Structure 1
């Protein structure tokens, strides 16, 4: 299919900035590369009043946790004359409320039933999430709803895209997916030089959203163990995840009295290189992964080493070449791993080099080009 037809024949359904935590950053990065180098025009059915940039044309239609607005999204899909739709989803992207989220996750099925060609990038799968490990109260109805939504997404998609290799077989085995493509997550800052250097300053960084799927308290206990041996500071650069604001604020409240913790709030992306210059490593204390790690892909190009808990997703990233030292989540094991990276220059620099190489293999331009290739053959298919 030529560029002339393709450029007027794509709707991208996703959150966009200024919204945070709903894959908006992923969508923004992909769309900017499509606009900047692929010569395509894309209409975006989104949740926020985002400004147009070049040939990317946002249309604010739906809102998180609002079932009525999701019905408006359905109507917009049905009325659209565009043939090709790309949905950028995870299993809670439409909010924490059961009804709006379920209705939102059925949107690809609405598109399929209305005669569209449907591609879905699905960033997590219920079968891969250990909800019991994060102590979320989930009824049989909740679990059934997640399974129904995932099954409907898989069946609606002419092409299902996942960002973890292990999800390819999982989608086929658990949900009967037929056409599944692995497209790795893109990395930021690949055009900049790596800024991290080994200094053994005793500064550790936690960056990202705070929520029950991460164990910030275990990390704090690990830092307390280390503080008995040497001076250390834990920098917490993050804000509550929009779906878990109450739980996150409660956890932060329990840690406010720790003298070795500094809460920085959200750090803008443009300031991250300066922050990475000041720290020894980044720690990812996940109880369970809800997909791949956005933080690994955000920071790897800057050359920073990581210590991460042993989830299947983080283990896969380590095997793929990311600069990660895998650790148990128990505080004593985290403390040992953090100290090892902090004080062992050879190990830290080896992890740093791996981080940079990993990022260089995954620039956003490469990811966007892969999507455009798939748009072409999907549009041309009968």
Structure 2
């Protein structure tokens, strides 16, 4: 099978580029894939396709730009040139731009493939029905929210024209089936990027590192986490370091710089900036706890799967989507109320003051992560593509 993937791809900073890297790494190792065609965004640096494992040929076509109005035409042209047997879209609603028209035009591409009769699967990482538009940084205006919801519903109807729409949570399947009355939706787990050997249970010498990882400023904010750790320090006298690993959300540029200035008097507060792929393992392995300081969610959490793969204890907000994900996939953590510093401090304290409990959570999360390696996830996609292809042949 000659498989094309429409996606952002490293060294891109556009969302879901890291997920695409691991999809590519594991798709290319399946014997049923003869060539991978990456239909990617344009970047100044060369695409990262140097893998140590043997695999199929990879062809890279940089054919779209973030916020471009020409994406639908340029990607369609690349598809005509490369002639794939099947196309996988690695999507969320703001994948092709943070400007409404540019984003919407890009999301028409699955329909274009459907019209061209190319077997098409859309991996949809979030659905608008489960996004808090205000918290996620889209808009606070009630009228604008209604407009967004109307546009989102219309675009979802078009995306659902694909042969199959894959989502990462059972809840999303039910929501979409009930609202849109369709039957071409399947839950395929997010998967875990890498399954390293289980790390040593003993943490490195020095302060216990309380870490959070991601893009911050919208529904992911770090002020409460900082203040919660300060509370724990005062109460317990523990040597704790706060590690903010990542960057600003594109919608809130300058957020972390403002936080750093506001809390500059707080000792052992580290802002790592953008974390290169080669440094991800070290950041996780050095941490005692991974905190998710979210006030809402927009879908399944890639960071949770990473935390599990590195056998880390996690502190999670008591929010529907994340809690559902934990229950569905077997992850365990301490919960806190999203707006409460005291609740967050209590959740972290339960882990950093009890090594046996921390190790129990680490073991449970490593077990959950290893149940869904990316090799297994990519095989599911290949199986689904073959079902679609066989069905079209019979017709």
* Aligned-residue offset at 1:135: 5.5
Residue in 2 that maps onto 1:275: 283
Q: What is the distance in 2 between the residues matched to 1:278 and 1:157?
A: 43
The SS at the match of 2:273 is: coil
Residue in 1 that maps onto 2:371: 361
* Aligned-residue offset at 1:150: 1.7
* Aligned-residue offset at 1:273: 3.4
Q: What is the distance in 1 between the residues matched to 2:75 and 2:20?
A: 18
> Of 226, 234, 238, which residue of structure 1 is paired with 2:232?
226
The SS at the match of 1:297 is: helix
> Of 86, 92, 97, which residue of structure 2 is paired with 1:95?
97
Query: Does 1:123 find its partner at 2:132?
Result: no
Gaps of 5+ in 1: 1-5
Residue in 1 that maps onto 2:336: 327
The SS at the match of 1:149 is: helix
Q: What CA deviation, in whole Å up to 9, does each residue of 1:206-238 have, x standing for no partner?
A: 112223021212212212322322243211111
- 8 Å Cα contact 2:135-2:218 kept in structure 1: no
Residue in 2 that maps onto 1:317: 325
Aligned length: 374
Against the structure 1 CA distance between its residues 218 and 21, is the aligned structure 2 distance closer, same or farther, given a 3 Å change threshold? farther
Query: Does 1:45 find its partner at 2:48?
Result: no
> Of 15, 23, 26, which residue of structure 1 is paired with 2:19?
26
**As a proportion of its length, which structure holds more strand?**
2
TM-score of the pair, normalised by structure 2: 0.87
Against the structure 1 CA distance between its residues 62 and 251, is the aligned structure 2 distance closer, same or farther, given a 3 Å change threshold? farther
Against the structure 1 CA distance between its residues 21 and 36, is the aligned structure 2 distance closer, same or farther, given a 3 Å change threshold? same
Q: What CA deviation, in whole Å up to 9, does each residue of 1:22-57 have, x standing for no partner?
A: 211111111111112335112121103526554121
- 8 Å Cα contact 1:65-1:101 kept in structure 2: yes
Query: Does 1:374 find its partner at 2:374?
Result: no
Against the structure 1 CA distance between its residues 67 and 45, is the aligned structure 2 distance closer, same or farther, given a 3 Å change threshold? same
- 8 Å Cα contact 1:184-1:367 kept in structure 2: yes
TM-score of the pair, normalised by structure 1: 0.90
Bigger relative contact order, structure 1 or 2 (CA pairs below 8 A, ≥6 apart): 1
Higher alpha-carbon deviation: 267-276 or 37-46: 267-276
- 8 Å Cα contact 1:78-1:110 kept in structure 2: no
Query: Does 1:166 find its partner at 2:159?
Result: no
The SS at the match of 1:298 is: helix
Q: What is the distance in 2 between the residues matched to 1:273 and 1:323?
A: 20
Q: Considering only aligned residues, what root-mean-square deviation do their CA atoms show, in Å?
A: 2.3
The SS at the match of 1:132 is: coil
The SS at the match of 2:352 is: helix
> Of 143, 150, 158, which residue of structure 2 is paired with 1:152?
158
- 8 Å Cα contact 2:307-2:313 kept in structure 1: no
The SS at the match of 1:131 is: coil
Residue in 2 that maps onto 1:69: 71
Q: What is the distance in 1 between the residues matched to 2:76 and 2:137?
A: 33
Q: What is the distance in 2 between the residues matched to 1:126 and 1:237?
A: 27
* Aligned-residue offset at 1:17: 0.8
- 8 Å Cα contact 1:95-1:243 kept in structure 2: no
Gaps of 5+ in 2: 51-55
The SS at the match of 1:119 is: strand
Q: What is the distance in 2 between the residues matched to 1:277 and 1:83?
A: 40
Query: Does 1:214 find its partner at 2:220?
Result: yes
> Of 261, 275, 291, which residue of structure 1 is paired with 2:269?
261
* Aligned-residue offset at 1:108: 0.8
Higher alpha-carbon deviation: 257-266 or 307-316: 257-266
Against the structure 1 CA distance between its residues 146 and 286, is the aligned structure 2 distance closer, same or farther, given a 3 Å change threshold? same
Residue in 2 that maps onto 1:3: none
- 8 Å Cα contact 1:276-1:304 kept in structure 2: yes
Query: Does 1:194 find its partner at 2:199?
Result: yes
> Of 330, 348, 363, which residue of structure 1 is paired with 2:358?
348
* Aligned-residue offset at 1:79: 6.4
